Amino acid sequence: MIYLLAAALALVVAGCSDDGEERRRSLGRSPSFSDLMQVADPARGGRLFGTCAACHMAGPGAGDRNGPNLYGVVGQPPGETSQRFGYTAALRSLGGVWSPERLDTWLTAPAAMVPGTSMRFRGISDPLDRADLIAYLQTRSARGSVRRPMPAQPSAAR
Ligand code: HEC
C-alpha cells in the first residue's frame, strides 16, 4: 500500500520536479544523516507528507486527526506538541526533545523506537525520503517560517 502510494507520488513528482534521483547519485552509497540533511528538500518533503496526512495536520492551530497536529514538533519534547491529543504514556515518557536525528529514528520504525506507541505506521525505509520529511517538519513552525530549515549538526571533519 505504502509502495503504491510512493510510486504514485513519484509519478506526480517526476512531472514537476526533482524526485531525488540526482541527489541520491551525488550522495553516494551510504550517506550520513547530516549529509542527507544538507541536501534535504522541504518542498518534496511536503509532498511526501501526503503519506502522513491521513493522521496528521501540520498547520498553526490545526486540529488533531488520528494523530496529533505536528506544527512546531521539531525541538519539542515528545508528546507535548498538541495540547489536546491523548498521547500514549510510552511516547510521553521518552524524555528529551524531537531532534532531527531522533525524528529520523522514529520515522524509520516508530514501534521499534517506542514500543507501545499508538502510531500505527510501519515507517519509511528510504533515508532521503525521511530527510526531506524532517526538513518539511522544520519549516512547519513559527521559527521555520522566518528561517531556513537547519541542517543537522555536521559530522566531525574527516
Ligand atoms: C495511521 C495514523 C498515522 C500515520 C499514517 C502517521 N502517524 Fe504519526 N502519529 C500517529 C499517532 C497516533 C501518534 C501519537 C503516538 C503516541 O502517542 O504514542 C503519532 C505521533 C507522531 C509524532 C510525535 C508527535 C509528538 O507530538 O510528539 C511524529 C513526529 C509523527 N507522528 C510523525 C509522523 C509522520 C512524519 C508521518 C508520515 C511519514 C506519520 N507520523 C504518519 C499516527 C500516525
Q: Compute CA distances 127 → 4, 33, 36, 141, whole Å.
A: 18, 8, 8, 23
With beta carbons less than 8 A apart as the criterion, state whether 138 and 42 touch: yes
CA of 51, closest atom in ligand 1: 37
pLDDT digits (tens, 9 = 90+) for 90-148: 999 999 999 999 999 999 999 999 999 999 999 999 999 999 999 999 999 987 754 45
Distance, in Å, from the CA atom of 69 to the CA atom of 65, rounded to the nearest integer, reads: 7
Amino acid at 158: R
Residue nearest to atom 5 of ligand 1 (CA): 52
Q: Domains in the chain and their CATH numbers?
A: 2-139 (1.10.760.10)
The dihedral sign for the CA sequence 75, 141, 24, 5: positive
pLDDT at 155 > cutoff 80: no
Question: In the prediction, which pLDDT does 61 show?
Answer: 93
The dihedral sign for the CA sequence 20, 26, 28, 31: negative
pLDDT digits (tens, 9 = 90+) for 62-90: 999 999 999 999 999 999 999 999 999 99
**What is the 69 CA–ligand 1 centroid distance (Å)?**
9
Question: In the prediction, which pLDDT does 1 show?
Answer: 58
